[in-house]
Structure 1
Amino acid sequence: MLKLDQIKKPIEKEIDAFEEKFKASMQSSVPLLDRITHYIVKRKGKQMRPMFVFFSANICGGITESTYRAASLVELLHTATLVHDDVVDNSFERRGFFSINALWKNKIAVLVGDYLLAKGLQLSVDNSEFKQLKIVSDAVQQMSEGELLQIEKVRKMDISEAIYYEVIRQKTASLIASCCAAGAASAGADDETVKLMHSFGENIGIAFQIKDDLFDFGVDDVGKPKGIDIKEKKVTLPLIYALNKADKAEKKKMINLVKNHDDDPQKISQIINFVQLSGGLAYAEEQMMKYQAKAFEIISKFPESASKTGLEQLVRFTTERKK
């Protein structure tokens, strides 16, 4: 399987230029803010979101200055949500680094998140790029709604498969969809093409999240079942399928176990075994491949190019990645 560094080769120069522009978009006259945003830039992730923006722009007319701003807008608003998420979750680590709230406390972290959000809005308004602003703002709204929907349903443990898909469509897929749609819009694509690219990104996003669900049923570095989602009482597709297949007594027993496992490794293993034996993992993988096929079908409508190949490789990466 290709690594992301290999996939991004056709747009490597553009991604490098984007990093400089993204760094500049966060600049402030307040030294503390500049220290924190410099720390954020240093902890950059896999760059999948900018890759989706640039590849999408390229197959819809070509990369423009607007494309760089679209990628920066996505990153600014997404980074703002991550900073706020770490405060909400009381999380002190992200991608192996200390979180902003771990180093500078909650009050500063919330203000930094607000600042990044404002910078994203300002970047779009200053350049009259209201279509891109709407695309990305809609995604951030959906991410918040998806998170709240999940919290509400997890409390009651009544997540159906339909609600699960609604949660992940809002929480995960909406962001990747906005990358593809904003990239297309930045290249001057018509509304129909922007909508098509949004659908493309949404299908990839759903497949991406199902893959994450499957990771939870693997083992960690010392051979113990991961079960991180189970520990956090998140109801994922493999578990939903297993519960739906179980008889009434077993379903009640397993729901009780999920609610009251108290991080007991034996109870976590019991839940994981229940899902594995039910065929929950095979079912989730089958659904993941259906969404991958939908994404391939959409991208097949575009002419052959290096960027089309790049998007196809990104689709494969979402379902074949090892972590």
Structure 2
Amino acid sequence: MPGINEIKRPIAADIDAFEAKFKASMQSSVPLLDRITHYIVKRKGKQIRPMFVFFSASICGGINESTHRGAALVELLHTATLVHDDVVDNSYQRRGFFSINALWKNKIAVLVGDYLLSKGLLLSIDNDDFKLLKIVSEAVKQMSEGELLQVEKVRRMDVDEPVYYEVIRQKTASLIAACCACGAASAGASDEVVKKMHDFGENIGIAFQIKDDMFDFGTDDVGKPLGIDIKEKKVTLPLIYALKNAEPSQKKRMMSLVKNHNDEPEKIMQIIAFVKQAGGLEYAETQMKIYQEKAFDILRTFPEGDARTGLEQLVRYTTERNK
């Protein structure tokens, strides 16, 4: 599978230009705020979401200034949600670095998240990018609803497959769907094509999250510590499948471990062993590939070319990664 730098080669110049514009979009005259946003920019990830915006624009008519603003809008709102999430989760690290709330405390982190959100809104409003703003705002609404749905279900330990898919569709897939829809809309695509790209992104997002959830039960070399979801009492697809196919007494015992002993390493390993033995990972892998193939089916309706190839490679990178 190509590396991320090889995948983005056809749009490398656009990504480089985007990074400069994204940095400029976060600037503030308040020294503390400027220092914090500089810290955020220096620790940005692989720019997967802007890549979906740019490739989607490219396959739907071409990249333009509106595309750059759409990518910046997505990243500003996404970054705002991450800053707020770290406060909500009492998380002090992100991608191996200290989180904003770890360095500057919760009050400042919340205000920084609010600032990034407002910058994204103003970027769109000032340039009359109302269609892009509507797409991304809808995604942020769904992300919030997905988080609250998960909180509600975690409290009750009441998660089955339909609920699981609804949670990940809202929490994760909605933003990737927004990236692809934004790219298409920025290129002037019809409402029908924008909807098609939204569906394409949603399928990728669901496949991506299933894959990510599998890492919780995997091996130590995936880059994600084992049992994090179990510790947070998150019932994900591998565990749902294992519980569904377990004997009543075994199911009761495993549910008790998740509810009452989710912070004990030995018990966590028992849950992981149970899921593996029940075929939970194989089932999740099969479901992940179904959604991946749905995305490819949509992509095949577009003409062949660098943009389609780039999106195909990006889909494989996000859904077949090892970490």
Same fold (TM over 0.5): yes
Distance, in Å, in 1 between the alignment partners of 2:214 and 2:230 is 12
Report what 1:91 is aligned to: 91
For residues 112-127 of structure 1, the aligned pairs below 5 Å read 112-127=112-127
Say yes or no: does 1:159 pair with 2:159: yes
Distance, in Å, in 2 between the alignment partners of 1:201 and 1:269 is 34
Residue 212 of structure 1 deviates from its aligned partner by 0.5
Report what 1:37 is aligned to: 37
Report what 1:111 is aligned to: 111
Distance, in Å, in 2 between the alignment partners of 1:114 and 1:222 is 33
Q: Deviations over 1:191-221 (max 9, x none)?
A: 0000000000000000000000111111225
For residues 12-27 of structure 1, the aligned pairs below 5 Å read 12-27=12-27
Report what 1:267 is aligned to: 267
Report what 2:248 is aligned to: 248
Report what 2:171 is aligned to: 171
Distance, in Å, in 1 between the alignment partners of 2:195 and 2:292 is 18
Report what 2:49 is aligned to: 49
Report what 1:206 is aligned to: 206
Task: Report the identity percentage.
Answer: 77
Distance, in Å, in 1 between the alignment partners of 2:247 and 2:133 is 48
Say yes or no: does 1:81 pair with 2:81: yes
Moved more, 192-201 or 240-249: 240-249
Change over 3 Å in CA distance of 1:298–1:242 after alignment to 2: same
Q: Which amino acid aligns with 1:111?
A: L
Q: Which amino acid aligns with 1:174?
A: S
Structure 2: any 5+ residue segments left out of the alignment? none
Distance, in Å, in 2 between the alignment partners of 1:105 and 1:229 is 25
For residues 191-230 of structure 1, the aligned pairs below 5 Å read 191-220=191-220, 226-230=226-230
Report what 2:322 is aligned to: 322
Q: Deviations over 1:149-176 (max 9, x none)?
A: 0010011111010000000000000010
Q: Which amino acid aligns with 1:22?
A: F
Q: Which amino acid aligns with 2:30?
A: V
Residue 292 of structure 1 deviates from its aligned partner by 0.5
Residue 177 of structure 1 deviates from its aligned partner by 0.3
CA contact (8 A) 1:217 1:225 kept: no
TM-score, scaled relative to structure 1: 0.98
Give the aligned CA root-mean-square deviation in angstroms: 1.4
Q: Deviations over 1:112-169 (max 9, x none)?
A: 0000000000000001111100000000010010011001001111101000000000
Structure 1 runs of 4+ off > 6 angstroms? 222-225
Residue 222 of structure 1 deviates from its aligned partner by 11
Distance, in Å, in 1 between the alignment partners of 2:44 and 2:317 is 19
Residue 318 of structure 1 deviates from its aligned partner by 2.0
Residue 227 of structure 1 deviates from its aligned partner by 1.3
Change over 3 Å in CA distance of 1:75–1:245 after alignment to 2: same
Q: Which amino acid aligns with 1:251?
A: K
Report what 1:189 is aligned to: 189
CA contact (8 A) 1:218 1:225 kept: no
Distance, in Å, in 2 between the alignment partners of 1:198 and 1:182 is 8
Distance, in Å, in 2 between the alignment partners of 1:50 and 1:110 is 24
Q: Secondary structure at the match of 1:255?
A: helix
Distance, in Å, in 2 between the alignment partners of 1:134 and 1:159 is 30
Residue 27 of structure 1 deviates from its aligned partner by 1.2
Structure 1: any 5+ residue segments left out of the alignment? none
Q: Secondary structure at the match of 1:216?
A: helix
CA contact (8 A) 2:215 2:224 kept: no
Q: Deviations over 1:204-243 (max 9, x none)?
A: 0000000001111112259997111111111000000011
CA contact (8 A) 1:53 1:179 kept: yes
Report what 1:149 is aligned to: 149
Count of aligned residue pairs for this structure pair: 323
Distance, in Å, in 2 between the alignment partners of 1:170 and 1:225 is 24
